[in-house]
Amino acid sequence: MVQGVVTEDGVPAIEIQVGGRLWQAIVDTGFNGDLELPERLRSHVNAQFIGRTTSLLAASQQVEEDIYLVDFPFDGRLTLSQATLVDGDEILIGTRMLREYRLQIDFLAKTVLIENA
């Protein structure tokens, strides 16, 4: 089970320990991939290039990105996941990453709960 909060800006988020640092990870229900990670985590997640992918963003904007196979710590275990690497400091958790989980976001209580189904 993973617990998190809804931030003051209304964003569901959890914290993940990667590379010796605690990172805020946004639970992005509009993102149907596994992960988007900061470039500087590349060496900490054993990123292995597997190809290119085309992503559809808001306003029908398409971008082509490199995609990597990564070892990512999630829910107390190391998962083999697909990720894009970007500049910045945020981690995005997509719905594909949560395919074996139940996600509960309570905006009134400002809580996030991710349970293995």
Residue 94 carries which DSSP code?
-
Q: How many domains does the chain have?
A: 1
pLDDT at 63: 81
- pLDDT confidence bin for 25, thresholds 50/70/90: very high
59 φ/ψ angles, rounded to the nearest 5 degrees? 60, 30
Mean pLDDT of the region 13-22: 94
The mean of the pLDDT values for the chain is 93
Instruction: Name the β-bridge partners of 108.
Output: none
The model carries a pTM of: 0.91
pLDDT at 62: 80
pLDDT at 54: 80
Q: Which residue has the tokens 């509960």?
A: 104
Mean pLDDT of the region 80-86: 96
Range of the domain at 86: 2-116
pLDDT at 55: 74
Residues 6+ positions from 51 with CB-CB distance below 8 Å: 66, 67
CATH number for the domain that contains residue 54 = 2.40.70.10
In tens, the pLDDT along 27-70 reads: 999 888 999 999 999 999 999 999 998 876 767 778 889 999 99
